[in-house]
């Protein structure tokens, strides 16, 4: 697809300017398209807001799990020795628990519904390339990078860097999935 160099709007390839290649911009990556195409900007804006909503939901779940899991040991250790109570909290496990809950939440939601609550609120849906709900394996593959924020960032960056199509993270290519407007 070609884009107008002035406004970034998609331009049909049937006119004389598009055929001659004068004044028509063809992006070479998803990043270039993201800087010029308002639809791509809206799309990733919606995905970002959906992800933030879903992250807040998982954060609440992680907090509840942490309180339930660590409250008895904190109370017991405070009674035995208040100085040792902070060392027994196991704070290093929070990122692991958060990552695993994130993976579970996104995988199960995408597989069963084709959306998470955040995606639903932003009118987005996960589908296979032929329009069906993703299988459990496909949902797992597309969401495995959400275990750790740096992996997710790399997943998005590599996906946008390698393809002009801006609707897929790198892991979506392996899973055969994409996120679309409902």
Q: Is the domain of 74 the same as that of 131?
A: yes
pLDDT for the residue 25: 67
Rounded CA-CA distance 114/108 in Å is 9
- Averages of pLDDT over each 10 residues, the chain, 182 residues: 57 47 72 89 96 95 81 66 51 76 96 97 96 97 95 94 87 94 90
**22 and 106 both lie in a single domain:** no
3-state secondary structure of 161: helix
Query: Are residues 73 and 21 both part of a single domain?
Result: no
What range defines the domain where residue 6 resides? Answer: 1-28
Residue that the structure tokens 């196991």 belong to: 90
- Identify whether residues 100 and 153 lie together within a single domain: yes
* Stated length of the chain: 182
Residues 72 and 91 in one domain: yes
Predicted structure pTM score: 0.76
Residues 92 and 6 in one domain: no
Tell whether 115 and 156 lie within a shared domain. yes
160 shares its domain with 81: yes
The pLDDT of residue 65: 81
22 and 59 belong to one structural domain? no
| pLDDT at res. 78 | 61
How many structural domains is the chain composed of?
2
For 70-94, give one letter per residue: b (16+ CB within 10 A) or e: beeebeebeeeeeeebeeeeeeeee
Among the listed residues 11, 46, 37, the one whose alpha carbon sits nearest the alpha carbon of residue 119: 46
């Amino acid at each position: 697809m070609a884009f107008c160099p002035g406004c970034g709007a998609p331009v049909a390839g049937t006119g004389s300017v598009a055929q001659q290649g004068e004044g028509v911009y063809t992006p070479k990556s998803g990043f270039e398209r993201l800087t010029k195409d308002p639809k791509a900007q809206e799309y990733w804006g919606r995905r970002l807001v959906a992800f933030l909503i879903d992250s807040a939901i998982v954060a609440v779940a992680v907090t509840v799990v942490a309180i339930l899991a660590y409250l008895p040991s904190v109370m017991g250790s405070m009674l035995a020795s208040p100085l040792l109570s902070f060392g027994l909290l196991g704070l290093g496990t929070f990122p692991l628990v958060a990552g695993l809950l994130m993976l579970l939440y996104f995988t199960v939601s995408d597989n069963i519904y084709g959306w998470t609550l955040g995606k639903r609120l932003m009118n987005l849906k996960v589908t296979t390339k032929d329009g069906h709900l993703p299988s459990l394996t496909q949902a797992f593959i597309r969401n495995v990078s959400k275990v750790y924020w740096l992996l997710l960032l790399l997943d998005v960056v590599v996906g946008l860097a390698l393809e002009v199509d801006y609707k897929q993270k790198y892991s979506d290519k392996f899973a055969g999935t994409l996120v679309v407007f409902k």
